[in-house]
Structure 1
Amino acid sequence: MFFKTGIAGLVLAAAMGVQVSTAYAAGDDPVVAKVGDMEIHESELALGVANLDPQLANLPPEQKRIAALSAAIDVKVVAALAASEGLADTPDFKSRMQFLREHELHNTYFRTNIVGDVSDEDIKARYDKEVAAAPAETEVHARHILVKTEDEAKAIIAELDKGADFVTLAKEKSTGPSKDDGGDLGYFGPGRMVQPFEEAAFALNPGEYTKTPVQTQFGFHVIKVEDKREAAPPPLDQVKDQIRQLIVRDRYVDLLKKLKSETTIDIKDEDLKKGYDEVTKAQQ
């Protein structure tokens, strides 16, 4: 279909892999615990729950809150000790804080102005343009009999030429997983099967079977086409999430292109510059 992966997809995944944030009004963020003079608010606990180790993902909600609270208390007491020893004033700490600040600003902008700005109307317009308006795709309904050798396949074709029933032969002789269903593979469109199999199947008319064995990496096939049809596009509800991700990806990439075109980027290391240029080209 029209959904593609690649470097741009990886960039999107990285940008979307952000911490979950929970917004609280000033009066709706109660204190859940105090550690000395330091307060732990409900918002901080929610962030802690969202960022728990994946191994704790299946814990009941209340146990997640307890785990997050325990971690928050540990962080508070050690952070207080570190601050008392002046570690907040070290160049290393300041550099890390700058790094984290910029990443969180990036992620907040992404959530607010890119992900949060995709409307149902945007999704419907993209669907109408790229899915509903796409040319109809031909699908074939095929059966096959899979055997190990070419001679076995030729013998099956000879039996079919004499009037043998394809379904019966598939159940008796096929080694494929669809043998119990008479070799039935259902309907499939282009790109769903390995190339030699697909070419042979789409070349047949309904009711026809291959007159010579078709070899793939799985063995030798005898293929019969039961039907051909023009496939309807998937309904909007079925692809809505994919289209949303596509819009988000495109808007993110467009934003980066615009911002970078307005900014001087000078990469001193030649190897890094070459690699960066390749990644940028792939994104575009």
Structure 2
Amino acid sequence: MSKTLMKLSAAAFAIMAALPAQAEDVSADTVVATVGNTEITLGHMILVRSGLPEQYQQLPADVLWDGILDQLVQQEAMAQDDLAKETRRVRLAMDNERRSLMAAEAITVVAKQAVTEDAIKAAYESQYVNGEKGQEYNASHILVEIEEEAAAILAEVKGGADFAETAKQKSTGPSGPNGGELGWFSAGMMVEPFQKAVESLSPGDVTGPVQTQFGWHVIKLNDSRAKEAPELDAVREQIVGTLQQEAVSGYIDSLVADANVTKKDKSEFDPSILTNTDLLED
């Protein structure tokens, strides 16, 4: 091998050695630091980052790296110090943390298993296609400040005055210039007194005066119809959440029911003892 080729090979090797480890060579067990005989791994760092407040998780990884690693190194150094004792408080906290994490692992599995495409489609059919979809209403209104004025307008409209023209002339609401038209809406979209008044009408009926925090209304129901089922994709996220919640709730209830659980009645204790942190001391 020529000297030139040997030099090139050596340079290439040096460059490759200096490159960061490739993704396939890295795992959660990859050691990033040691403190004495204790290893700190990439997995430890990933868990710290995942537990940071949202605003810090938005920071670039190269900004977070040194801070997270320094924190873990400092904590491990302090944990190894003679002043650091595994007290009752520490042991109890570790018990609670392990219990919480193990439960969370089980919940994650149950929630994941509950969500299949078949389950989503079945829930969609049951809740939205075949279920009660409710009504939608198309109404118009005339809004004024004084009840007597609303009563006079109601009499005019019932006497034959055109509702839309009257709304354009007298309504103080933003829909006035459009003849008072509010378009289509369903239950819960309007304030309660207005919604109740609309639901009591048949298409073409007019009612009033109806008071809300906005003033006094004269209301006309233009039309009503059964709500159409939304597209599956529009409610997919909501269905997934419901499936997961129901599955997890049922799973927990069944586990507790089948377990050999005994609980002391709180009447045996003074509940204020919960604030006595002195009991945690060795």
Which TM-score band applies after superposition, normalised by the shorter structure?
A: 0.7 to 0.9
CA distance in 1, matches of 2:169, 2:31: 69
Measure, in 2, the Cα distance between the counterparts of 1:178 and 1:68. 56
Unpaired runs of 5+ residues, structure 1, are 1-23, 275-284
**Distance of aligned partners of 1:82 and 1:41 in 2 relative to their CA distance in 1, 3 Å threshold:** closer
What is the percent sequence identity of the aligned residues? 31
Contact kept? 1:45, 1:65, Cα under 8 Å: no
Q: Distance in 1 between matches of 2:94 and 2:222?
A: 65
What letter is aligned with 2:64?
A
CA–CA distance in 2 between the matches of 1:122 and 1:107? Answer: 23
Aligned-pair CA distance for 1:213: 1.1
Mapped to 2, the partners of 1:101 and 1:25 lie a distance apart of 30
Q: Distance in 1 between matches of 2:32 and 2:139?
A: 65
Secondary structure at the residue paired with 2:80?
Answer: helix
Distance 1:270 1:252 in 2: 31
Deviation at 1:239, TM superposition (A): 1.1
Distance 1:48 1:72 in 2: 9
- Residue matched to 1:13: none
* Equivalence map 1:52-67=2 (5 Å): 52-59=52-59, 62=60, 64-67=61-64
Root-mean-square deviation over aligned CA pairs:
3.1
Separation (CA, whole Å) in 1 of partners of 2:176 and 2:58: 39
What amino acid does structure 2 have at the position aligned with 1:118? V
Q: Which residue of 2 aligns with 1:92?
A: 89
TM-score (norm 1): 0.73
- Tell me which residue corresponds to 1:257: 253
In structure 2, the partner of 1:10 is none
1:28 maps to: 27
Q: 1:252-275: per-residue Cα shift (whole Å, max 9, x none)?
A: 211222122123231331399x9x
Question: C-alpha offsets along residues 195-237 of structure 1, whole Å, 9 cap, x if unaligned?
Answer: 4322321233333322x31223432111112221121122211
- Larger of the two Rg values belongs to structure: 2
1:200 maps onto 2:227 in alignment: no
1:148 is aligned to 2:145: yes
Give the whole-Å Cα distance in 2 for the aligned partners of 1:88 and 1:241.
47
Structure 1 residues 108 and 231: CA distance shift in structure 2, 3 A: same
Q: Which runs of 5+ in 2 are unaligned?
A: 1-22, 272-282
* Aligned mates of 2:180, 2:46 — CA distance in 1: 53
**Counterpart position of 2:123:** 126
2:135 is paired with a residue whose SS is strand
Aligned to 1:223: 219
Structure 1 residue identity aligned to 2:88: P
What residue is the counterpart of 2:50 in the other structure? 50
**Could you say which residue in structure 1 is the equivalent of 2:242?**
246
Q: After TM superposition, give the deviation of residue 168 of structure 1 in Å.
A: 3.9
Please give the TM-score of this superposition, normalised by the length of structure 2: 0.74
* AA aligned opposite 1:262: D
What is aligned with 1:189? 186
1:109 to 89, 92, 106: 106
Q: Is the 8 A contact 1:115 1:248 kept in 2?
A: yes
How many pairs are equivalent?
A: 246
Q: Deviations over 1:72-115 (max 9, x none)?
A: 42132133222222635222111111111111101111112223
Distance of aligned partners of 1:46 and 1:144 in 2 relative to their CA distance in 1, 3 Å threshold: farther
Partners of 2:213 and 2:268 lie apart in 1 by 40
